Amino acid sequence: MTALLAQKQLFSPTKPVWWAGVLLSLGISALFYVPVYKTIEHDAAARFTQQARNAQYNITSRINAYTDVLRGTASFFDASDRVTRASFHRYVAGLDLERQFPALDNVNFTQYVTAAQRPAFEREAARSGDGRPDGYPNFSIKPPGQRDEYSVLTMIEPVAPFRHRLGVDINAREQAARAIAVARDTGQLITSGMPIENTRDAQGWALAMRLPLYRKDMPLNDVAQRRAAYIGSVGIGFSVPRLVRAAMDQMQVRDVHLMLYDEGKNADGSDAPQTLLYDNRGTTRHPPRAGEHFAIVLPLDFNGRQWSAHFSAPKSVWYSRFDAFLPWLSMACGFVGSMLFYLLFHTLSSSRLRAIKMAKAMTKELRDSQAKLQQSHHKLRQLAAHADQIKEQERKRIAREIHDDLGQNLLVLRIEADLLASRTRQSHPRLHARACSTLKQIDSTIKSVRHIINDLRPTVLDLGLNAAVEWQIAQFRQRSGMVCELIEHQSDIRIDDRCATAFFRVLQESLSNIVQHARASLVRVELRQAGGMLSMTISDNGVGLRESSRNKVGSFGLVGIEERISLLGGHCAITGGHNAGTTVQISVPVEYIPPADDGLHAGPGIRQAADIAA
């Protein structure tokens, strides 16, 4: 129990739980830090990938450009009837290799020689030199040995660095011979993937590409025709490091590690070992750590051979100073903002709890007041009902006493005055006149008494509700001159005196309101008893009931009607509109009362009431 109370005090909304706010703020600041860091890392990775793809595109573009040089050289041979060393020199010099194609080492031509043609070819080659120290020398086929076919290097530009290469049979190497055979049979550009001599780079690979040449006057529709028309091939040699460095120079970030691999797939489908062609950081390979470096592997197509470029770079070099600072800034903002929101929430929560506590107290007080008000209202209604009942009983008592006592006395007095007037008609004219005057005064008094009795409580109510309603409507017609229709669905409605009095008073009040306010010409009263319910509808065609009339100060007529029916457990509806008349509809649950004996057994009070009402 003590621990529970301590826990409640610890988490009490009136005291800030600072450690909870700090933990929450730290969690939210971490949520701020991680997405921002991931976003910056993603953007940096996207920039790295884009730069790597740009380098891939540059390498591919340069390979394509060198391929175009090779194709242009083949076209030069095809367009010339006879290509001499001088014309070949002029053509290559026009390409301006050092400035336009810095990775190219040379452009060369190899002549196809069969074993039968070798002796004649060597005799001619032995005297083919031009005699210049940096020009073409006399040469012979090398390496020595007898082979069925030869691809002898006979022209090369620039010649000075490669004059010792003249006469080399490149078919002497099995892989090169296989690649040349594929090129001859297919007519496509091809490379063997083997390194060649590199004059300007002591380290790094130099590769060659070759394109076959055929006689112009022979068909090339199938392999046999191409083999028969084959005369040799043109080729280029280029430095892989120079080609890659030229492409890498365009990258915005220099601290990028690139390793270029030949994946060992030849164009003829044969496999070769994977070869490292270029590494801008040396030949030692250190795999980058995945968490600290960006890395991507992109494919390259080197004329039928598959290359792969492995790019990697530290993540830090791709971040700006603001990028490195932004995650911590967002983390600090998240922490401060969360603390502020926590304090605001705690303040609002405390205020809310205080407001709820105050509201509960006010609600309890309001409910108590409402209960007292309802109780007071109920007592007032009971008091009003009791007062109304006493008033009706008092009216009934006074009317009965007036009727029984004063009415009988006046009736006796009238009889005596009438006898006096009859007896003095002949003998005492003056006394007869006074007796007649007294008789008239007595009749006027009886009439006044009758009106007083009817105002207090119409004696016709003792005859039943139907008779009372008919008598009230007749009085209304006589006083107002309006047309008033009575619709009775039952000719003999029997209910208790209290209910009959309430219905009569409602009718009396409604007709009084019509006379005073409605300015109507037609009134309709409908009385019905069915299904244990007694209902009465009073409607007129007057000016209608305005909303302000129901709440008029000092006016209790309509309120009295509703209260009377409510005390009987019934329903009251008062409707109306502008120039649409007013309708008062009431209904009260009643019990069936069996009919009493006929008038022969009626008491003297009822008979006298009938006499007075008449």
User: What distance lies between CA 371 and its chain's CA centroid?
Assistant: 46
pLDDT band at 431 (very low <50, low <70, confident <90, very high): confident
Pairing of strands 230-239, 104-114: antiparallel
3-state helix/strand/coil string of 138-198: CCCCECCCCCCEEEEEEEEECCHHHHHHCCEEHHHCHHHHHHHHHHHHHCCCECCCCCCCC
Element (H, E) at 238: strand 230-239
Instruction: Answer yes or no: are the C-beta atoms of 46 and 373 closer than 8 Å.
Output: no
203 token code pair: 């380290």
Residue ranges making up the domain that contains 502: 460-589
Tens-digit pLDDT profile for residues 209-258: 899 999 988 898 999 999 999 999 999 988 888 888 887 777 766 778 88
Compute the half-sphere exposure of residue 80: CA atoms within 13 Å on the CB side of its CA. Answer: 15
Q: What does the pLDDT average to over 514-521?
A: 83
Instruction: Answer yes or no: are the C-beta atoms of 151 and 170 closer than 8 Å.
Output: yes
Element (H, E) at 277: strand 275-279
**Closest alpha carbon to 213 in 112, 114, 122:** 112
Q: Is the pLDDT of residue 11 over 50?
A: no
**Closest alpha carbon to 194 in 259, 240, 139, 145:** 240
Instruction: Answer yes or no: are the C-beta atoms of 93 and 143 closer than 8 Å.
Output: no
Alpha helices (runs of H) in 200-320, residue ranges in sequence order: 223-229, 240-248
Residue given tokens 């791709």 in the structure block: 318
Tens-digit pLDDT profile for residues 321-363: 777 777 788 888 877 877 777 787 778 878 888 888 898 889 8
Residue given tokens 């007869």 in the structure block: 432
Q: How far apart are CA 590 and CA 588, in angstroms?
A: 6
Q: How far apart are CA 52 and CA 146, in angstroms?
A: 49
Residue type present at position 491: S
How much is the pLDDT for 606? 34
- Helices H / strands E in the chain, number of each: 16, 13
Of 318, 336, 360, which marks where a domain is finished?
A: 318
Name 486's bridge partners: 525
250 token code pair: 């365009």
Greatest alpha-carbon pair distance for the chain in Å reads 203
> What CA–CA distances, in Å, run from 385 to 393, 405, 563, 567?
12, 29, 9, 7
List CB contacts of 41: < 8 A, sequence separation 6 or more: 315
Q: What does the pLDDT average to over 550-566?
A: 69
Q: Is the pLDDT of residue 554 over 90?
A: no
How much is the pLDDT for 113? 93
Q: What is the tally of structural domains in the chain? A: 2
Q: What are phi and psi for residue 570, nearest 5 degrees? A: -105, -165
Q: How far apart are CA 517 and CA 545, in angstroms?
A: 9
280 token code pair: 């801008």
Q: Is residue 219 part of a domain?
A: yes
How much is the pLDDT for 599? 41
pLDDT band at 611 (very low <50, low <70, confident <90, very high): very low
More confident residue, 150 or 35: 150
Q: Is residue 40 part of a domain?
A: no
Q: How far apart are CA 588 and CA 20, in angstroms?
A: 67
Q: Is residue 145 part of a domain?
A: yes
Tens-digit pLDDT profile for residues 119-161: 999 999 888 888 888 889 999 999 988 989 999 999 999 998 8
How much is the pLDDT for 7? 45
Q: Is the pLDDT of residue 13 over 60?
A: no
Q: Is the pLDDT of residue 519 over 90?
A: no
Q: Is residue 366 part of a domain?
A: no
Assign residue 531 a region: left if phi > 0, alpha if psi is -120 to 50, beta otherwise? Answer: left
Q: How far apart are CA 318 and CA 309, in angstroms?
A: 19
Q: Is the pLDDT of residue 285 over 80?
A: no
Q: Is residue 409 part of a domain?
A: no
Instruction: Answer yes or no: are the C-beta atoms of 500 and 478 closer than 8 Å.
Output: no
Q: How far apart are CA 280 and CA 241, in angstroms?
A: 8
444 token code pair: 């006027």
How much is the pLDDT for 367? 87
449 token code pair: 């008494």
Q: Is the pLDDT of residue 598 over 90?
A: no
Q: How far apart are CA 71 and CA 66, in angstroms?
A: 9
Of 300, 318, 336, which marks where a domain is finished?
A: 318
Q: How far apart are CA 593 and CA 422, in angstroms?
A: 49
pLDDT band at 270 (very low <50, low <70, confident <90, very high): low
Q: Is the pLDDT of residue 402 over 80?
A: no
Q: Is residue 14 part of a domain?
A: no
585: exposed, middle or buried (C-beta count within 10 Å: 0-12, 13-18, 19+)? middle
Q: Is the pLDDT of residue 589 over 70?
A: yes
Tens-digit pLDDT profile for residues 350-398: 888 888 889 888 988 888 888 888 887 777 767 766 776 677 677 777 7
Tens-digit pLDDT profile for residues 452-485: 776 666 767 778 888 888 888 888 888 888 888 8
Q: How far apart are CA 446 and CA 440, in angstroms?
A: 10
Please report, in angstroms and rounded to a whole number, the separation of the first and last CA atoms in the chain: 88
459: exposed, middle or buried (C-beta count within 10 Å: 0-12, 13-18, 19+)? buried
Q: Is residue 453 part of a domain?
A: no
Of 294, 318, 342, which marks where a domain is finished?
A: 318
Name 265's bridge partners: 271
Mean of all residue pLDDT scores within the chain: 80
Q: What is the DSSP letter of 283?
A: S
Cis? peptide before 119, omega within 30° of 0 = no
Q: Is residue 29 part of a domain?
A: no
Tens-digit pLDDT profile for residues 55-98: 888 888 888 988 999 999 999 999 888 899 999 999 999 989 88
List CB contacts of 35: < 8 A, sequence separation 6 or more: none
Q: What CATH number is associated with residue 104?
A: 3.30.450.350
Q: What CATH number is associated with residue 509?
A: 3.30.565.10
How much is the pLDDT for 212? 95
Q: Is the pLDDT of residue 112 over 60?
A: yes
Q: Over the range 384-406, which residues count as b (16 or more CB within 10 Å of their CB) and which as e?
A: ebeebeeebeeebeebbebbeee
**Total residues found in the chain within this entry:** 614
The least confident of 20-29, 164-173, 363-372 is: 20-29
pLDDT band at 21 (very low <50, low <70, confident <90, very high): confident
